[in-house]
């Protein structure tokens, strides 16, 4: 989780707050290999993105797209 936060915080300022111009994909996995087959990282990343007010969505079951310009510096 700390790696995700550091990655986004390093990239987001370079966008100049331009929404809809710069995107990142965050691959969290679907959780198929986790105990019980349930995702553990995905819900934490999703909660953090919501808390940050980010614009994001699911690229597929194990991957988020994130608008880097939607993060507040």
Residue 55 has what pLDDT?
94
Output 56 or 13, whichever has higher pLDDT: 56
Mean pLDDT of the chain: 85
Distance CA 36, CA 47 (A): 21
pLDDT at 50 over 90: yes
Residue 16 CB partners (closer than 8 Å, separation 6+): 69
Residue 73 has what pLDDT?
56
Q: Which two tokens stand for residue 66?
A: 């994130």
Beta-bridge partners for 55: 67
Q: How many domains does the chain have?
A: 1
Distance CA 71, CA 42 (A): 19
Residue 4 has what pLDDT?
80
Residue 18 belongs to domain with CATH number = 3.30.1370.110
Distance CA 23, CA 11 (A): 10
Average pLDDT on 36-55 reads 90
pLDDT at 64 over 90: yes
What residue numbers bound the domain in which 55 lies? Answer: 2-70
């Amino acid at each position: 989780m700390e790696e995700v936060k550091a990655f986004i915080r390093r990239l987001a300022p370079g966008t100049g707050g331009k929404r809809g111009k710069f995107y990142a994909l965050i691959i969290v996995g679907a959780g198929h290999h986790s105990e019980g087959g349930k995702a553990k990282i995905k819900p934490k990343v999703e909660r953090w993105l919501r808390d940050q007010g980010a614009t994001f969505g699911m690229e597929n079951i194990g991957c988020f797209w994130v608008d880097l310009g939607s993060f507040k510096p």
